[in-house]
Amino acid sequence: MRERLEREYELELLATMPSVEFDITLTNGQQLEVAQCLRNMPDRATIEEIREPFIQASIIARKSSSGR
């Protein structure tokens, strides 16, 4: 997909792994922040709630690609 976008639309794309911190509440009430790596997650049985950040975004683009 990346190669096709670069070729067809003459774009330079930079693709990286997202960096996300999860806010976790454990069943004992303890609060944790866990970086993106799932292997850092506590045992599923001890997790009460997981929250992660999100954004609401709009993408504005031309109606046609013929005007490059």
Q: E strands within the chain?
A: 22-26, 31-34, 47-51
| Below-70 pLDDT ranges, the chain | 18, 36-37, 65-68
Using one digit for the tens of pLDDT, what is the confidence trace for 11-28? 888 877 767 889 999 999
The first and second tokens of residue 61, run together, are: 């683009």
pTM, full prediction: 0.54
